[in-house]
Amino acid sequence: MVEAFDADGQTLGLPILNEESGVTETVNIWGVRVPEGVYNAVVADKRDDGIIQGSAGNPMDSSMLNTTCRSPARW
C-alpha cells in the first residue's frame, strides 16, 4: 500500500484510476503491484525480525521521488 505525504507531513490525495469501475478517484491510500521477487523479499524481511526495514520492499528507488507519472495510477 502507498500513502503519499507532502513536505509538511500532510497526506496527499492523488487521482487514481479504479480498474474495477473505470472511474478516476482522488484517494489517500492505494495499492501498487510489484514483481514476485519484490514481494518475496518483503516477506523474508518481515519474517527476519517482524519489521520491514530493507529497501527491497521499495520498488521505487530515490530517483523516482520527484518523477511525474506519465499516466494515471491504477488501483
Domain ranges of the chain: 2-74
At 8-34, the pLDDT tens digits run 989 999 999 888 899 999 999 988 888
User: Can you give the pLDDT at residue 1?
Assistant: 81
At 39-58, the pLDDT tens digits run 898 889 889 888 877 665 55
- Helix-strand-coil split of the chain, %, nearest 5: 25, 20, 50
User: Can you give the pLDDT at residue 5?
Assistant: 84
Mean pLDDT of 31-38: 86
